[in-house]
Structure 1
Amino acid sequence: MTATESGSTAGGNNNRSERRSWVRAVLSPVGVLILLASLLGFMYLAYVVDPEDNLHDFPIALVDQDVGDTLGPPGQQQQVNFGKQVADGISRAVPADRIDLRELGINEAQLQMQSGKVYGAIIIPSDFSKRLGILGVASVVPGDVERPIITLQTNPRTGAFATQIVNRIGTQIYPQVNAKIGEQLTEQVRAQLTPQPGGAPAPELTGATLVTLESPLHLVTEEFRPLPDGTGQGLTAFFYALLLLLVGVIGSMTIHTMIDAALGFVPTEYGPWYVHYPPTPISRFKTLLIKWGVMLLVANIVSGIFMIIANALGMPITQPLALFLYGAFAILAVGITGLSILAAIGSAGLLVNLILFVILGLPSSGGTVPIEATPQYFGWLARFEPMHQVFLGIRSILYFEARFSAGLGRAVWMTGLGLTIGLVLGAVISRYYDYKGLQRGSTARV
């Protein structure tokens, strides 16, 4: 082979290698972005497309306080309990595969409403049968009368969308129950009509009376512990939790990049200027400790800043100490875990953090659409996804007096577990790399 042929061959190989490099440089980000966009689109659209079709295990309390009454003409009186009939009718009308109807006493129902464990309550009052009996008597005897009441209580502190679902369920059930009770009441009133003296037939019920008897119930909708002004109809908890999560994620990426640049492990560009400091002789573990320390400082400062901003905007904060402490705790847990992932797998950790904390986290948070109104795999994600745990904690602090039973207990436990996993992961991986002598620096080009 001549020198010219050898040079041509070498040049051809270099051209092919360069073309492969260009193809790899172009196709790699395109492929990654296509996968991320597909996952993002599927998760977010599946989250909101049809919440009512996805409804499952949606908790609503059913409270039957009716003590019953004795009805009927003298000598033929009998004990009745229309409240029990209504409760049974509601149980049959409610689809069991969609609604978790919990038959509770009034005290237990209120406790579960106060802790956000149920999204609403259907309450049958203690004088329900008595009022219904009076309505039947009043249809043939002159006098003033009020229709029996069924109360539908919503729980606005669980979110505006949950309130809408409760209202819709109530309006779907009410006509069925009303018609059934009306049919029974009409039959009982007709049975009480007796022939008149002299053999005259029994009086007929008027059209107005029949209309009243066929639709005897009155549905009253009310809010249980309405939210104060400045809560965005229950959305401030979600957005506050989102801010904490974003600070943790973005903070970990920023701290990781800027400290690595300051220590000389990655270059820094300022517009047209390019700076690359000499690498600092420091172990991976010590570098990670520095990043964790900065994250600890940032978490406390930013948690305080968010509270100052929220207060300035008129957002009610009844538990300031709990909000500050848990806010800093949540930022720290997310930030340290994000830094540990970046320390373990490098730049690919940016994608992992994005998927773990944002793409999978937001739709499984339950902050806007209840988990029970999303596809069931979101419920599985919500068991461990950080965003759901942070949302539960912030919602409890802002709306439920920081009750542990309202989600704060689970939030603290799961956030602590996440922080522990992040610390262990970062410490073990970085120490292992140091032990193997895998120093940070440039490697041979592949």
Structure 2
Amino acid sequence: MTWTTDEDGEDTRPGWDHKLWAIPLIIAMGLLSLLALSYLGSVLHPQRNLHDYPLTLVNNDRGEYGGEVAERVRGALPHDQVRLQVTDAAEADRLMSLGSVYGSIVIPEDFSARLTALAEPGPGPAAPPGIELQTNPRAGATAVTLTTQLLTPVLDGINRQLGTAATERARTGGVPLSDAALVTLAEPVRIEATQHAPLPEGTANGISAFYYTLLVVFAGFTSSTLINVGVDTVLANDQTLSRWRALLFKWALIAVVALVMAGCYQLIASALGMPIDHRLALFCFSTFASLAVGMTALANLAVVATVASALRLPVLNNLGTPINMLAFIALGLPSSGAIMPIQAVPRLYGALAEFEPMHQVYLGVRSILYFDALAAAGLTRALVMCTVGVVFAVVVGVLTTLGYERWQARQAPAEAQD
């Protein structure tokens, strides 16, 4: 390379042009810092960030103590963090089967009878009463942990309160209490932790849906970047293809990638032993979701490139990829609800989850893999939002590129006269 100087004798070597290194460095470091803030800020304090955490309480007890326990549970759970729904067993099962709640407390019908028998004289030791703590592994691995951490201290405290009351009733009733009986009455209720509809082998304890979601999103996001660079490079010296036609061509390539990768993903997943009960549904949804992500990402790149051309600021062309990474990855992962429930992250991410692509894709993939492809388990919302993404891409992408070309055509005669 030949180094040159300008008329004033100043060095004009490319290495000294701050635009070549300063802007990319600032963009890269700013984006990486935002990634750190977004990721760490969303996962470090789930207990502190809890809000509207959905749980159910089922009281099947035929006596008085079940109602007492239910009231104590409602009083012990923080109302600003937990949304507790008192319902019957059938409704609780339905909500758990849709992934709408993360856990349930079930008080059996013989709870009062068993608790009363502990404090009364009898021929032998009575069977202790039990309370079932159900978690929902299909709603996410972290949700199981959070539900257990949230409800276990509450039930343990209520257990000790019931034990104190039962001991007093026994002593008042003249029941002789041995040391073993006192130990039993100290915590008379057996808290049984169970899983509602446990996941089969090959699901990574509820994380497989998240990683499959990543694959689907990356199929659209990554291929859009590569296709955009490749097509633009080929067409750099070809002025015959208009911007909007080039965009249509890129979308066609994205569709091919989405179709092929949806099949490849299933083949790889099946070979590795991941259970897939609804193969056609997963293939069709994965294809559509990857297409929606890719079309939206390409539309964003086209808009940025068009704005850069209109303003005659080529440096803005480099902003398209960071913008897409911010929209689809940096803000998408913490608001996906896949690693951390939406109700356990700062409310900002809950607001982002209303439209962030990764959350919508996750709901669809999770519904197909874990909830029997039920529409009400998130699949309908995922399809609707993917459709919105495609429509957004078409409207914004085509109107921007086509409008720019028409504007440029009108400007050409005026520039020629000048």
Same fold? TM cut 0.5: yes
Give the % identical residues.
Answer: 40
Rounded to whole Å, the distance in 2 between the matches of 1:62 and 1:303 is 40
Q: d(CA) in 2 for partners of 1:324 and 1:103? A: 38
Contact 1:136/1:185 (<8 A) preserved:
yes
Pairing 1:236–2:204 present:
no
Contact 2:167/2:186 (8 A) holds in 1: yes
For 1:117 and 1:17, the matched residues in 2 are separated by 62
Aligned to 2:117: 134
- Are residues 1:158 and 2:139 paired? yes
Deviation of 1:342 after TM superposition, in Å, equals 1.1
Q: Say if 2:59 is the partner of 1:64.
A: yes
Matched letter for residue 233 of structure 2: A
> 1:196 maps to which residue?
none
- Distance of 1:238 and 1:20 partners within structure 2: 43
Whole-angstrom CA distance in 2 between matches of 1:310 and 1:213: 51
Cα deviation for residue 229 of structure 1 reads 0.4
Q: Is 2:62 aligned against 1:32? A: no
Corresponding letter in the other structure for 1:27:
A
Q: Find the structure with the greater CA-based Rg.
A: 1
TM-superposition CA deviations, 1:279-301 (whole Å, max 9, x none): 24111111111111111122111
C-alpha distance in structure 2 between counterparts of 1:322 and 1:57, whole Å: 31
Does the C-alpha gap of structure 1 residues 240 and 145 become closer, same or farther in structure 2, counting only changes over 3 Å? same
Q: Is the 8 A contact 2:55 2:104 kept in 1?
A: yes
Aligned residue in 1 for 2:311: none
- Residue 374 of structure 1 corresponds to 345
- Determine the C-alpha separation between the residues in 2 that align with 1:328 and 1:308: 14
State the partner residue of 1:294.
253
Q: CA RMSD in A?
A: 1.8
Aligned equivalents of 1:210 and 1:154: distance in 2? 31
**3-state SS, counterpart of residue 153 of structure 1:** strand
**Which residue of 376, 381, 384 maps to 1:405?**
376
Q: Deviations over 1:178-223 (max 9, x none)?
A: 1111122222223322xxxxxxxxx653333233223210101111
Deviation at 1:438, TM superposition (A): 6.5
Q: SS of the residue aligned with 1:212?
A: helix
Deviation per CA, 1:42-88: give whole Å up to 9, x if none: 001112222222222211111111011xxxxxxxxxxxx10000111
For 1:251, give the aligned amino acid: S
Shift of 1:415: 1.0
Distance 1:159 1:183, change over 3 A: same
State the 1:95 CA deviation. 1.4
1:159-238 equivalences in 2 (<5 Å) = 159-193=140-174, 204-238=176-210
Q: Give the counterpart of 1:323 among 282, 306, 317.
A: 282
Give 1:21 deviation, angstroms: 5.9
Mapped pair 1:389 → 2:360: yes
- The aligned residue for residue 267 of structure 2 is 308
Q: 1:100 maps to what in 2?
A: 83
Is the partner of 1:52 in helix, strand or coil? helix
Structure 1 residues not aligned, in runs of 5+: 1-8, 69-80, 194-202, 266-277, 440-446
Once residues 28 and 44 of structure 1 are traced to their aligned partners in structure 2, the CA distance between those partners, rounded to angstroms, is 24
When residues 332 and 104 of structure 1 are mapped into structure 2, their CA distance, relative to the original with a 3 A threshold, is same
Q: Which amino acid aligns with 1:110?
A: D
Tell me how far 1:170 sits from its aligned partner.
2.7
CA distance in 1, matches of 2:321, 2:15: 25
- Asked if 1 retains the 8 angstrom alpha-carbon contact of 2:53 and 2:82, the reply is yes
Which residues in structure 2 correspond to 1:258-297 (within 5 Å)? Answer: 258-263=230-235, 265=236, 278-297=237-256
Aligned equivalent of 2:49: 54
Q: Relative to total residues, which structure has the larger helix share, 1 or 2? A: 2
Of 174-183 and 426-435, deviating more is: 174-183
Query: Residue 15 of structure 1: SS of its match in structure 2?
Result: coil
Offset at residue 16 of structure 1 (A): 6.6
Q: Distance in 2 between matches of 1:155 and 1:10?
A: 70
* Contact 2:334–2:349 (Cα < 8 Å) also in 1: yes
Measure, in 1, the Cα distance between the counterparts of 2:405 and 2:177: 93
Whole-angstrom CA distance in 1 between matches of 2:60 and 2:113: 12
Q: Helix, strand or coil: the match of 1:228?
A: coil
Does residue 402 of structure 2 align to residue 431 of structure 1?
yes
The residue identity in structure 2 corresponding to 1:238 is F
Decide whether the 8 Å contact of 2:159 with 2:189 is kept in 1.
yes
Letter in 2 for 1:112: L
Deviation string 1:381-412 (CA, Å, 9 cap, x unpaired) is: 11110000000100000000011111111111
CA contact (8 A) 1:285 1:430 kept: yes
> Which runs of structure 2 are paired with 1:414-429 in the superposition (5 Å)?
414-429=385-400
Taking the TM superposition and a 5 Å limit, the aligned residue runs for 1:10-25 are 11-12=7-8, 15=10, 22-25=17-20
How far did 1:368 drift? 1.1
Question: Residues 93 and 176 of structure 1 are in contact (CA less than 8 Å); yes or no, is this contact kept in structure 2?
Answer: no
How many Å separate the matches in 2 of 1:407 and 1:216?
Answer: 40
Residues 1:425 and 1:205: Cα distance change in structure 2 (over 3 Å): same
Q: 1:340 and 2:299 equivalent?
A: yes
Conservation of the 8 A alpha-carbon contact between 1:147 and 1:218: yes
- Write the letter of the residue equivalent to 1:385: E
**Matches of 1:48 and 1:206, distance apart in 2:** 48
